[in-house]
Amino acid sequence: MRIGKHSSTWLVGGVLALAVPFCLAQTNPQQSQMPQQGQASSQPSHSAMSANQRAADLLNTVNKDEIDTAQMMQDHTQNTAVKDFAQTLVNDHKDAQQKLETAAGQSNINLQENKSMQNQDSKLKDRLQNENGAASDKAFVNSEIRDHRTAIRELKRLEPQITDPGLKDVVQNAIPVMQKHLDAAQKLQSQLGGKSSGK
C-alpha cells in the first residue's frame, strides 16, 4: 500500500510525540534528585550538630550551676579563702557564660541545660546550706574538684568534634580557666585539712 507524503509526515510526528515524553520521564527523576543531593551535602552531619549542641549545653549548665553555688557559698561561709575562691568562680564563669551566649547567638545554637546536672547541683546546695563551718567549706571545695574534673574531661573529649568556630574558641578558652579553678580548689582543700587529690 502506498503512503502519501502527508500520511508519512503524520506518522513521523506521531512517533516523536510518543518518544519525547518517554525520554523526559526517564531523565527527569535524575534531574530532580540532583538539587536534593547538593542540598543535603551542604548541611552539617548529625554527629557534628550533636557535638556542637552537647558542648554548648554542657558549658551552659556548668557555668550557671557554678555561679549559683558559688554565690550561695559567699553568703554562707565565714572562711575568707573560701569566700575569695567563690568570688573567682562567679567572675570567671559569668565571663565564660557571656562569651558562650554571644557565640551561640551568632550561630543560632539554642542553649539548653542538663537536667541531671541541675538536680545534682540542687542537692549539693541543699547539703551545703544544712552544714556549717568547716564541714560546709570542705564539702564545697570537694564538690568543686569533682565537678571541674568532670567538666574538663568532657569538654576535652568534645572539643575536637566541634565544627562551629565561635563555639570552639569559647570551649578552648574555658578549659584552661577551669583547670586553674581545679588547681586552686586542690590547694584550698589542702589548707582546709581535706584529702589530697591529684589531677
pLDDT digits (tens, 9 = 90+) for 165-199: 999 999 999 999 999 999 999 999 999 986 544 44
How many Å apart are CA 128 and CA 136, to the nearest integer?
5
What residues contact 52, with CB distance under 8 A and at least 6 apart?
Answer: 107, 109, 162, 163, 164, 167
User: For 21-25, 56-60, 113-117, 164-168, which range has the lowest pLDDT when averaged over its residues?
Assistant: 21-25
pLDDT tens column, 102-123: 999 999 999 998 888 888 888 8
What Å distances lie between residue 76 and 6, 25, 103, 130, 145, CA to CA? 104, 77, 34, 10, 19
Average pLDDT (43-50) is: 55
pLDDT at residue number 48:
52
Kindly indicate the confidence band of residue 25, based on its pLDDT and cuts at 50, 70 and 90: very low
Q: Percentage of residues in the chain with pLDDT exceeding 90?
A: 61
Angle at 192 between CA 145 and CA 85, to 5 degrees: 55
pLDDT at residue number 23:
46
Span 46-191 CATH architecture: Up-down Bundle (1.20)
Question: For the chain, which residues make up each domain, given as ranges?
Answer: 1-43, 46-191
Nearest Cα to 178, choosing from 198, 162, 194, 154?
154
